[in-house]
Structure 1
Amino acid sequence: MNGMLSVVIGVAVLGWVIWNQVRVREFTPKRVRVAGILGIVGVVEIAQATGLAQVSTLGWVLLVTGLAVGAALGLLRAATVNLWVADGKVFTQGHWGTAALWLVGIGVHVGLDVLAGVVAPSAATLNSSSILLFIAVSLGAQGLVTMQRARSLPGAPAMTLERVR
């Protein structure tokens, strides 16, 4: 996938994710599956983008740093989501703070992309192709914490990843 197509797909996925974060939705463990699928696509995209090219250690450090920031922001976003039980189902709704944390995360990712291009040119392709993996890690962290929070709600149905099918 070329760089511009990756950006377009990343922006489209991000828009879809933010839209789903701020509207009322039923929460089930299946939501975590979306993060897994995006993660697989993200890893494949990185593998295709880097090919057999040598990526510096600094490039890998920047990638891992970006993913760690994404996970941390996912944990923070999970705390901003409102949860409640109605009719035996758990519902969620984020708000402006949830969306703002997504935008901060994308800003950090873009900043790391720029930094990679300056200090580790061999890593520029690696970092710029990692947007879907970044979204997956961030969404996965948020989903797992949200699921844990949902379990503690009075009247919430049982929620485990084993039930994700």
Structure 2
Amino acid sequence: MKPEPAHRSTYAHFQPITTRWMDNDVYGHVNNVVYYSYFDTVVNTYLIKAGVLDIEAGSTIGLVIETQCNYFSSLTFPDTVVAGLRVAKLGNSSVRYEVGLFSNDDETAAAQGHFVHVYVDRETRRPVPLPQALRHALEQLVVGQPEAINQH
């Protein structure tokens, strides 16, 4: 069963993303693969600004192991996409991010989905416990679901 579009109020963090001319496809709307780029943009920008992701030298990196997106209405150039971000599940070495994409000032999502990162050692690519600073930054994104946090 397809979910209903989420409301802005169900997200903890927001980031505007400017659409580009090249984001539109021949059907006159943002192509579906670009939505995943928006997901990556909001998550990684949040982590970099929180000081918990060093993309060049950090010893821990997140690898995407699962993605999904539901589309409700079209995004088009020259819209501003507002990406809402929350954490739905915070495990020992993994996190499930949920992202809502809102067109301009719309209150309901044009699209929403999730992806799961497993955090691994950069060199060995083996799972590692979330570093404490990363866990703290991610806890700020948990909305109304204290059971979503695994303290182990």
Normalising to structure 2: TM-score of the pair?
0.28
* Structure (1 or 2) with the greater strand fraction: 2
Normalized against structure 1, the TM-score is what? 0.26
More helix by share: 1
Which structure has the higher relative contact order (CA within 8 Å, separation 6+)? 1
